[in-house]
Structure 1
C-alpha cells in the first residue's frame, strides 16, 4: 500500500496521475497548504522541508516503509518499481530524463518566478514579470517543436516525461493555443481516464 500526502498543485498532480496510470493502490492524505498543514510536526516528520508531495511506500523488499519526496524523484521511483512508462534502452531513458528535467528545472523555476512577480509584486516589477512571461512562451516553443517531430515529449511512447509537464500545461491551456503541436498533445493526454482521475486528486478523494 502507498500513502500519498498531496495538494492540488502541479507537483502533487504529477504523482497522482502517475499512480492512476500504473494502477497501484494508494491512500490520499490531503494537505491543506492554505492552513499551513505542511508545517505541522506530523508532516515535517515525513518531509522537513514542508513541501508536498510525499510518498510512503509500505510494500518494500525490506518490509520497512520507504519515504520519498520531490515529484520527479517519485515518478522515477514508481516507474522503476513497476517497469512502466519508462523505455527499456539507456538512450531512450536518457531522453525521458532530459525532458523531465527541462520542464522541472528550466520551465518550473521560470513559472514559479513569474507567478511570484505577477501575483505578489507585479506593481513594483512589471517589466520583470513581462520578461518572465515571454521566457515561458519561448520555452514552450521548444516543447511545440519537439512535439512536431514525435507523438510524445520523449519519443513515440507516453512516459513520465509527459506526466511531468502535463499539469502545468493544463493550467495554462488558454494561453498556449498558438502552439499547434503542444495543443494536440495536450488534448490527447486529457482524454486519458488516468489523467482525468489524477488531476482530480485530492479533491475527489
Structure 2
C-alpha cells in the first residue's frame, strides 16, 4: 500500500531518448495491424510502428520518449499509455501534451511532462537525466539543460502508488472498505 504522506521527489532518472515529431496521436501509440500472443503483446508490438518501425525491437526499459507539439492527440484511449509502458518507456517529455492523454498518463502512472524547448535540446539516442528534485532535464550526451515543471504532490502520490487504482484502493481500505476480489 502507498504511504499516504506526500511522496518525496524520485531519484534522478537517466535514459536514452527516442525523438518523435508533432501531433503523434493515440492511434500511432496504440495502433493495430500485428497480432501478438495476447492483448499486452499486441499493444507493445504495434506501439509507434507506423512512425518508427524499429521502435519495439530496440526500445529498452528506462528509455525516454521525447515528442513535439500536441503529443497524445486523438481519441481518449488509455491503451496508448499502456503501450508505452509495455515498451519500457519511463518518462514522456513533450513540447505540449493533449489534456486527455496527460490525464490518462497520470491515472496509469507514466510521468508525462510539458517541457518547452525539449526537441531542440536532444537528438535521437542522446542520454538525458531527469531530476525532479532540482526541476531540471540535462542532456548528458551533448550538454545543455531545461527546467522541468513542478509536479503536484497529489500527482506524485499517484505515480508512486503505481496509478490511480492503487490510490483509490488504499483510500477505501483506510475507511474499512475492501473491494471484492475476482476469482
Larger helix percent: 1
Larger strand percent: 2
Scaled by the length of structure 1, what TM-score is found?
0.24
Higher relative contact order (CA 8 A, sep 6+): 1
